[in-house]
Chains A and B, each alone.
Chain A
Amino acid sequence: MALLEYALIGGILYGIFFSLVGIGLNLIFGVMRIINLAHGQFIMLGGFGAYLLARGLGLNPLFGIPLAIAGGIVIGYPLYYGVVPRLQKSQDPEMLSFILFFGIAQMIEAVAVFAFGADQRSLPQDALGSGNIGVLGQEFPDSWWVACLVSVLAILGLYLYFSRTRLGFATRAIMADRDEARATGIDVDRVSAIALIIGIALAGIAGVFVPYLIGSVSSSIGDGLTTTSFAIIIIGSLGNPLGTVVGGLVFGIGTMLMQTYYSSWSNLAPYALLLAIVLVRPSGLLGKAVRRA
């Protein structure tokens, strides 16, 4: 029973963090119908940003969060205006974005190998606290709780952005129908550019905690994180950022339960769940209808 409790609590913490990992990808897809295959590489850059701050400047890795936001602006703004409007004009923006962002992912990875080498890098183990915090008698490292707290705050911030701000309303309008939103006078490009910035920044923020949750950051972790993010957002609901939270929880709890009872198959769990959910409910757990491509 204690093992089950530990796996469930661990799964919730792990799952909330992975909601943050996936949410940026879902936001960008929801707003722009763009498949950002470089999502994992943006997470990796967030990890290396925190690494540079912590190991190079001796700062707390949490300073990587504002750095990730700044990085989101610096990368997202030119990336949007340089790429997205052209993609939107094409016959098949989804497929074209798939190919284009694949190229961007490879470029980022190559630059990261050049800059940081191929080996693994970690952050100071005690930078986010050296103790353990227990719930129901089950203790987890401080770093897990900090990652979970920041993930909750980031997701809550995104929720408030959608539900309380004019930009958020405009974003939702674009997610519902890009052309209609433009017809009502919404500056679609500006709002979409901000969504891309937010999406990349959220990926970067997740990257700050990657060394704590998955052991280390290296230039080659991007593709795996992109794949996992895809599984999470499809489980939740493709195009619905808040559905990612459900997807993350299902992924986290599923993975930890498998680790506890059938560890050899633990990396199969998210994809088995993905298959089952897509077969039973093609629009994802929180999807209202089949999305329009």
Chain B
Amino acid sequence: MRRHLQRAWTACAAGLLASGLALSAAAAPAHAATAPSEIKIGTLYASSGAFAVPSQSQLQGLKYWAAGVNKTGGVFVKAFDKKIPVKIVAYDDQSSTATATTLYSQLVTQDHVNILMADFGSVLTSVAIPIAAEHHMLLIDPTGSGANFFTRKTNYLADISIPTSAVWPRVLGDFILAHKIKRVAIIYDSNDFDASQATTLKATLEKGGVKPVYYHGVPTSESNYTVLIHTIAASHPDAVIEFGYALNDIAFFHALSGSGLHFNMTFSIFPGQLLALLEKNVGTKALAYTFTYPVPPLVVYNKTNLGPNTAPFVKEWTAATKSAPNALDTAGFNTGLIMQHMLGTAPTFTQLAFHQALIDMSGKTTTLLGEFKINENGAQLGEQLPVAQVVPEGKGLKFVIVYPPNKATGKAIYPAPAH
């Protein structure tokens, strides 16, 4: 009997020990057991096509960030309480939405990436949004800012490195109203990014009592603006606002400089992001006195609480790559920084926890792109863009921030001198 009891106790103790071990194995060491050997960030880039230049810059910025964190052993992942190296899985969509659709799906279903990041711009981001939502993955959206993306609450979309395009032209609108410019022509590409900016600007101007004298869309593929500019001139505008991608801006400035026409104010988006590309194609003379959105690193942030300030970033980037960073390089890098913070604060390794981590840092974080502030729809409401003017300096051009007054580095030259 005694021996029987002794056996029973031994069995019980062994059972308890075994279950205790099992429990402890399922608790703390579970992290180590399930932690991936690398954090796979899946994204796309365009080696060719209309978005190749900005897309490759964005990827370069991300790679620069990844190389930096991997040098220190990887990114800290709170859910596993350890650093894990980052691996970027990137496919070439050739600026095609059809190809991008297939490749985004491949990243999710075949490569099983841990984080899904969109390619540059609204056009190539638009096809990623439904795929991410369908697979319950958070889409990290660096530069897709079309206002239509952010019309309802979602856990699966976060606009990281560029404000939603509905916000972009507010300062521009205020600038136009402050300068009492009454005749405004707006020509825009018919895509989410540009059309939503046109809508916001029109609304802002109309609120201030200015009704645009010309307000028309053109196809995103538009490459000849000669007749369009002539049609715009027939409405006698003081300011011509052209919302397009870099390819459109090049064609627009070519046509404008060849037309012999002059407007008191000309605004376009990409001189502030890809000045070197624009300058190479249309020359400094055609760009002189153009107004634009200056995007960091042109706008300097000296008091960040996440990542480097602008100056050291520019210095380190230039030393590493032998060229100064442009806006899209910076956007790619900033996206990496935000993801790093997200992984470092999300308590579990799930997409919903990632999203919550982004919401938690919203309004409390300043990077070299400015204040990071997203709403429940995933729209970026921080990182506001001022208005700058491209002014001749020697043989080149420099940016002068002209509005709002608290950020201005100089006064606007209006009307712009004819050249």
Can you name the residue of chain A whose Cβ is closest to the Cβ of B218?
A263
Q: Are B258 and A7 in contact (CB under 8 A)?
A: no
Interface pair A215/B234, CB less than 8 Å apart: no
Known A-B contacts A215-B224, A259-B218, A264-B219; A3 and B234 likewise in contact (beta carbons under 8 Å): yes
0/1 interface trace, chain B 257-275, chain A, CB 8 Å (1 if under): 1111000000000000000
Q: Are B228 and A263 in contact (CB under 8 A)?
A: yes
**Count of chain B residues with a beta carbon within 8 Å of a chain A beta carbon:** 44
Chain A interface size, as a band, is 35 or more
> A141-B259, A143-B258, A263-B216 are known contacts. Are A216 and B221 too (CB-CB below 8 A)?
no
Q: Which residues of B contact A215 (CB under 8 A)?
A: 223-225, 247, 250-252, 254-255
Q: From residue A159, how far is it (CB to closest CB) to chain B in Å?
A: 27
Residues of chain A lying within 8 A (CB to CB) of residue B230: 3, 6, 10
Interface residues of B in 268-297 (CB under 8 A from A): 277, 280-283, 286
With A and B bound together, what is the CA distance between A3 and B230 in angstroms?
A: 8
Cross-interface CB contact of A266 among B48, B218, B277, cutoff 8 Å: B218
Query: Which B345-388 residues have C-beta < 8 A from chain A?
Result: none
Q: Which A residues touch B255, using CB under 8 A?
A: 215
Smallest CB-CB separation from A138: which chain B residue?
B230
B260 touches A139 (CB 8 A): yes
Q: B48 contacts A109, CB within 8 Å?
A: yes
- A225 CB, min distance to chain B CBs, angstroms: 10
Tell me if A192 is interfacial: C-beta within 8 Å of chain B: no
CB distance from A245 to the nearest CB of B (A): 20
Cα A278 to Cα B257 in complex, Å, equals 39
Query: How far is the CB of A18 from the nearest CB of chain B, in Å?
Result: 11
Tell me which residues across on chain B come within 8 A of A121, comparing CB atoms: 280-281
Write out the residue numbers on chain A whose beta carbons fall within 8 Å of the beta carbon of B260.
131-132, 139, 141
Taking a contact as CB atoms closer than 8 A, the residue among B53, B226, B251 that contacts A118 in the complex is B53
Interface residues of B (CB under 8 A from A): 46-50, 52-53, 56, 94-95, 187, 190, 216-219, 221-228, 230-231, 234, 246-247, 250-252, 254-255, 257-260, 277, 280-283, 286
Identify the 4 closest CB pairs spanning chains A and B, nearest first: A215-B251, A118-B52, A141-B258, A214-B223
Query: Given known contacts A214-B224, A216-B250, A260-B227, what 8 new A-B pairs fall within 8 Å (CB)?
Result: A2-B234, A141-B259, A141-B260, A144-B226, A214-B223, A214-B251, A215-B254, A220-B50
12 A-B residue pairs with CB within 8 Å: A3-B231, A6-B231, A118-B52, A118-B56, A119-B52, A120-B277, A141-B258, A143-B258, A214-B251, A218-B52, A260-B228, A263-B217
